[in-house]
Homo-oligomer: A and B are copies of this chain.
Amino acid sequence: MTGQRADARRNYARILAVAEREVAAHGADASLERIARIAGVGSATVRRHFPGRRALLEAVFGERIAALGARAAELAEAADARAALLEWLAALTSYAASARGMADALVQDGLTDPEQVEDCSAKLATAVEPLVRRAAAAGALAADVTAADLLTLVTGIALATEHHPDPAAEARRLLDLVVAGVSPAR
């Protein structure tokens, strides 16, 4: 990062700022060309800084992912392990459902090789992992439920509710269903 030239850093920042707006407006398949146009740079410059759409999405959502990671770290010390996990899941759901394109970003990088540490879903998985373990240890979670399972479920909910009139509300509703279990027998 520091090794970059000043203009490169400036362009990076500008492109990223525009990309955030565009992705918010048009979802994961925002036009890279359009982003370049708005940012006032050539399209080649965009793809130099972000080779491929994935890279751009990861950059766009990077901060928020980091914030979710921090939240997880906080919650790892909460008294109630189950409540902590559920709160984090709710936070993730809320964000994934409202931030257009994030769910796509998550689902797309499922393929990437495990080396890819920049991977969004890998970061999130690492973040929840402790919460999941603690909840499982406390007997508040079925033993065979993994962090990846939970992320996949939340991602799926976000994807499926994306076209609803009020995605966030609907996603929240479904998350509650999933958590409570469909069956009323408890």
Contacts and interface: CB of A to CB of B under 8 A. Distances in A.
A110 B165 CA distance: 9
A153 interface: yes
A5 interface: no
Interface of A: 82, 107-108, 110-111, 139-143, 145, 149-150, 152-153, 155-164, 170, 173-174, 177-186
Contact of A156 (B140, B161, B181): B161
Contacts of A173: 149
A185 B186 contact: yes
Contacts of A184: 139-143
Contacts of A170: 152
